[in-house]
Structure 1
Amino acid sequence: MQDDDPDAGDDEDWEPSQSMRFIIPYDEGGGTDVYARGIIEPLIDAMGEEIQIDNVPGGGGLNGFGELYGSEPDGHTFAGSATPLEVPPQMLDDPGFDQRDLEGIANIGRSTWCLVVNEEYEDEVETFDDVREMHNSGEWDSIGIQEPGSPQDIMTLLAKYGDEYADEYDWQWEDRVQYTGTGPIAEAVTSGEVPCGIGTDAGTEPDVSAGGIYPVATFFSEGSEVYPDIPSVTDEGYPEMDFIAGVTRGLYAPPETSEGTIEELTARVEEATEDERYEEWSDETGNPIFYEGPEEANAAIDDAFEEMEELEVIELIEEHA
């Protein structure tokens, strides 16, 4: 991803000189938005300039990525990601750009996909087994997910149709109601528009804390740090889906951003991740935080494309669209 141009590092003395734009390619209240707002104050101090969070939802994250792709590579515009969430939408429908051309700045956290249920069912639905039974018995017919190609879309398809998964999951949902992000999914479950939904632990936590929904399981075999007391589907005896069940929270700059600019940006992001305010936010919410540099951020996207291709995920999506 980094430019091989020998002059690419000439901008080694770069520093922010104007207000900055932080693109979030999902709605307010989703996990990517939650992470952005968790780190924003330390990040403003580290950058020394104001930073405006700009939610640009739609297209499975590609609307926001498109905004970033077309921005000036001057260091003043960057975007959050939820890799691998944005990868299948690009593989399904060419958006006119390749997210692998974006320049990684850093990874700052990780989330997992969790199944949440309307509190009306708290006395009778406690596990994934219970949710599955509600759908298989016909008492429930719907579940809230994101757009075609989203991790939730892929997980629910695998659990009903996947060669290596369907026999053991046998999850006979009827309708998947699609939303633009975890925030709207949590709202829909809270209101009773759908009885349950799948969202990130980071994105559902504010609604769980406020009441109205509760988590019953995570699809990530290692569990959820946000909800340490809920089991994973693997704990309940189902095959793991870790290739799609974890979300890396990354930051990216436009293509052709100079090496020197990336180096300065990532140093300031690392400073923000070490700020006690970000650590306190992590402790309060349970959202895990860490710092990884540009190389790891770039690899997160590249690896996701390779995994999707190897598992022929796009063929499964297209077959059951």
Structure 2
Amino acid sequence: MKRRCALSLIALTGCASLSQTALASTEPWPSRSVRIVVPFPPGGGTDIVGRAMGQALAPRLGQAVVIDNKPGASTLIGTEAVTRAAPDGYTLLVSGSTTFSVNPALKPRLNYDPFKDLSAVAVLARAPLVVVVPAQSPFKTLPELLTAARRQPGSVRYATYGSATAPHLAGLLLGLSAGVTLQDIPYKGSAQVSTALMSGEVEATFDTVASAGPLIKA
């Protein structure tokens, strides 16, 4: 039996926002395809939101909307690609708190300024995170998991998408609030996290309902 627990303390860390560079062209927009950059691998919550946005926009714009996954470096690779693109409205970014608040707070020397180099267009979703454990896990409740972590600090490992991502911060915040140490194990993306969880490489993960849904239903 899989267990999920909503973490209200980090409910807003999964909030996805759509940003674009400022429109500079005088030609009718759009006159060609639009690119949406997602700074995460395919399959995760942000990717799901980006693809849903692309499917909704394409028929309304009358142009193709291309999803361009550029994962890595805690969203820096994808975000910097957008800030370097022409400010003509044809390159959009779908991202969340890692890009707009976490990275600026934790990384003093960014190659972009989220308030100057990007223009917010809309909030697309607010996604609380859930705690997911494998079916064979001995932990049936969140208190049981925390008790094990308290008895053996670092013995409870949780999968993340890398440093400063929402799952990583969720584990840190939960550990701080409960007075325990949870060991984060970074992976490249949602597929790798799912594999690690189901194979028992880690004891838990934190993810959005959209991304964790298939695991919970399996």
Q: TM-score, normalised by structure 2?
A: 0.78
2:87 corresponds to 1:73: yes
CA distance in 2, matches of 1:206, 1:180: 18
Q: 2:49 is paired with a residue of what secondary structure?
A: helix
CA distance in 2, matches of 1:46, 1:153: 37
2:30 corresponds to 1:30: no
Sequence identity (%): 24
Tell me: CA distance 1:111–1:2, structure 2 relative to 1, closer, same or farther (3 Å): closer
Tell me: CA distance 1:17–1:79, structure 2 relative to 1, closer, same or farther (3 Å): same
Aligned residue number for residue 187 of structure 1: 195
Aligned residue number for residue 62 of structure 1: 76
Aligned residue number for residue 130 of structure 2: 114
Q: 2:53 is paired with a residue of what secondary structure?
A: helix
Aligned residue number for residue 186 of structure 2: 178
Partner amino acid for 2:210? Answer: A
Instruction: Write out aligned runs for 1:77-116 (5 A).
Output: 77-82=91-96, 84-86=97-99, 87-93=101-107, 94-101=109-116, 102-116=118-132
CA distance in 1, matches of 2:53, 2:173: 34
Tell me: CA distance 1:2–1:70, structure 2 relative to 1, closer, same or farther (3 Å): closer
What is the aligned-residue RMSD (CA, Å)? 2.8
Match of 2:157 among 139, 142, 146: 142
Give the C-alpha shift of residue 182 in structure 1: 4.2
1:60·1:180 contact (CA, 8 Å) conserved in 2? Answer: no
Residue by residue over 1:66-114, the C-alpha shift from the partner in whole angstroms, topping out at 9 and shown as x without a partner, is 11101111111101012x1223223333231112220112122221111
2:45 corresponds to 1:14: no
The number of residues matched between the two structures is 196
CA distance in 2, matches of 1:9, 1:69: 14
Q: TM-score, normalised by structure 1?
A: 0.54
Aligned residue number for residue 208 of structure 2: 200
Q: 1:106 is paired with a residue of what secondary structure?
A: strand
Residue by residue over 1:192-236, the C-alpha shift from the partner in whole angstroms, topping out at 9 and shown as x without a partner, is 221211112222123333x2xxxxxxxxxxxxxxxxxxxxxxxxx
Q: 2:74 is paired with a residue of what secondary structure?
A: helix
2:161·2:187 contact (CA, 8 Å) conserved in 1? Answer: yes
Give the C-alpha shift of residue 42 in structure 1: 2.1
Uncovered stretches (5+) of structure 1, i.e. residues with no partner: 212-321
Tell me: CA distance 1:33–1:19, structure 2 relative to 1, closer, same or farther (3 Å): same
Residue by residue over 1:150-177, the C-alpha shift from the partner in whole angstroms, topping out at 9 and shown as x without a partner, is 33333333344x4xx3xxx12233x210
Match of 1:51 among 59, 62, 65: 65
Uncovered stretches (5+) of structure 2, i.e. residues with no partner: 1-18
Q: 2:126 is paired with a residue of what secondary structure?
A: strand
1:185·1:198 contact (CA, 8 Å) conserved in 2? Answer: no
2:132 corresponds to 1:155: no
Partner amino acid for 1:33? Answer: D
